[in-house]
Chains A and B, each alone.
Chain A
Amino acid sequence: MKQNIKCYFAVTSRLYRILILLVFPAITVAVNALIKWISGDHIFYGFSLTSSFLLIEIAGNYLLSGGIASRQTEKLGYLKSSARGEWLLKNVMCADMVRRFLYFLLELICVSAISEILPQNGWAADVRYNEGMPVFLGLLSVGYFYGTFGIMIVRFFDSFRATLIVWYLSVIPVSISCSALNKFPSSYVVPAIYLLLSILASIFSIWLVIKRLRSEPQ
């Protein structure tokens, strides 16, 4: 894991680390804690938090590995010229994958904790749901899956515009999935499905990048 972190820090700029790993997540937590406190609705804040998370992760990925899986493979020339190029890329991808999961988990915990600390909001009292573990896990797996899936897609594009389009499109299934969580708040089916999909998407996204690294004109 030490190597993963070392590689991850090598390929990320200081600006990336300040914005994507500190500033934006802090703003996301603060804003969404406020949203949860005002609305008292776990689905509404869940959708809002997941969408914010996706925006930061997908846009942030543009700075980290935007277009890495695009057809223009020459940009990987330097990595290919080293016997450790694949090792470095795998380490970075794995570190980013684990970080993404931990960050979203942390964001969810922080938002819940902060909103619990805040005094009861009178306006939201009528719509406050009993947020249980299935909903919590559901939001975690939905956010993580669409984050990973969106990143996998944007790695094929070099332009930032494409990154924003992917984020915008990913918000649609997120809203549907959050509605499903609202419909079945005590069911583990949705979290289980998305957990499985998340694992598959994670493995597939790394495989795609490595495949591109190894690719040659035929």
Chain B
Amino acid sequence: MEFENVIYGTNIKKSFKGFDLDVEELRIPKGFATALIGENGAGKTTLLRILAGIWLDYTGKIQYFDEKLEDVESVKERLGYTGPNSFFLPQWTIPQIEKISGLLFDNFDSVKYRKLCQELSISAKGVKKKVNSLSDGNKMKLELAAVFARDVDCLLMDEPASPLDPLMRDTLCGMIHEYIEKGNGEKSVFFSTHNITDMENVTDYAIIMDNGKIAEQGFVEDLKEKYILVKGETGDVSKAEKYLYSFSAGSYGFEGLCLAKDLDKLAGLDISRETPSLFQISVAVMKAAGKLRNREGD
């Protein structure tokens, strides 16, 4: 499927503390929500920080938006970034963040920020809480209020769902959905997540990372056609195993993901087919990439 890119990167590399990020080609489609999936230490945060211009010490080429702008400083006004942990200075208060954001970004809307702070129930009206007195969930909500109060063209969010409760995750999905809808194909979201199941209904495109590299990427619908979930009897385990991308077996039988193109090879076995979820695809791809890495290591 052909699509325009909101961010396009080639040969993005950064090495630190024994970790190597090595992304040959990164394509983030314009007008869609893209999920960045991977195990801890896969390089998701590193990649997002590079894209947001938080980290500038890397090699490679990154182009933003249609204008082919390569200088991240010139596009920061059009990018909205949220990060994990201590994103704001701990001594800042909620009203202070409003004033500071007004100075940092031209497209910051104070009225919208206050409205979002109330809607997201960050703190009671009139209470000037400091950032360090907020729970992790409320800190993330505050980041969301600050970033959604801006009129940006692309949101880069590093694990926004992790500290949130299930209800708030649903609200986040709604916010992302509304943002994309209102953008009329011009606004895009790129977020990393471990909560694949919760975020699947808002994910259009997925990038799965393993050990600093992109292991798989594509539109979710395409990935669901590319991979098939097969379930079979215990007796067929040995025959099926070699064609399965991921595999788990128990007394009940076996279950695994296989490439749709390899389905013919399982002909003759008593198997049932199902469309896999993004979670199942992601786990299978990560397991397969891990196995391959271990084999290369041996």
Contact = CB atoms under 8 A, between A and B. Distances in A.
Contact of B53 (A62, A65, A75, A81): A81
A211 interface: no
The residue in B52, B55, B89 that gathers the most chain A C-beta atoms within 10 A of its C-beta is B89
Interface in A1-33: 6-7, 9-11, 13
B238 interface: no
Interface in B71-102: 73-74, 76-77, 79-81, 83-93, 96-97, 99-100, 102
A216 B52 CA distance: 13
Nearest to A62: B91
B117 interface: no
Greatest chain B CB density within 10 A among A11, A81, A85 is at: A81
B74 A83 contact: yes
Nearest to A16: B91
Nearest to A85: B104
B89 A75 contact: yes
B53 A80 contact: yes
A119 interface: no
Please classify the interface of chain A as helix (H, G, I), strand (E, B), loop, or mixed, using the class held by over half of its residues: helix
B84 A74 contact: yes
A1 to B, nearest CB: 15
B156 to A, nearest CB: 9
B90 A75 contact: yes
B76 A83 contact: yes
B57 interface: yes
B249 interface: no
A11 B86 contact: no
A68 interface: yes
Nearest to B108: A82
B91 A66 contact: yes
A67 B77 CA distance: 27
Nearest to A7: B103
A79 B104 CA distance: 8
A142 B80 CA distance: 45
A166 interface: no
A72 B86 contact: yes
B146 interface: yes
Specify which of A7, A62, A217, A218 lies most central, judged by the most chain B CB atoms within 10 Å of its CB: A217
Contact of A81 (B74, B81, B97): B81
Nearest to B74: A83
Nearest to A75: B86
Contacts of B77: 82-83
A84 interface: yes
A88 B89 contact: no
Interface in A57-74: 62-68, 72, 74
Contact of A216 (B56, B81, B84): B56
Contact of A74 (B86, B93, B99): B86
Contacts of B89: 65, 68, 75-76, 78
A10 B89 CA distance: 13
A77 interface: yes
Nearest to B147: A81
Contacts of A217: 16-17
Nearest to A12: B96
Given A77-B54, A78-B100, A84-B103, 16 more contacts: A10-B96, A13-B128, A68-B89, A74-B86, A77-B83, A77-B86, A77-B88, A81-B52, A81-B76, A81-B79, A81-B83, A83-B77, A84-B104, A88-B100, A88-B103, A218-B16
Interface of A: 6-7, 9-11, 13, 62-68, 72, 74-85, 88, 158, 216-218
10 contacts: A10-B99, A10-B103, A13-B128, A63-B91, A66-B90, A74-B84, A77-B54, A77-B81, A77-B83, A81-B83
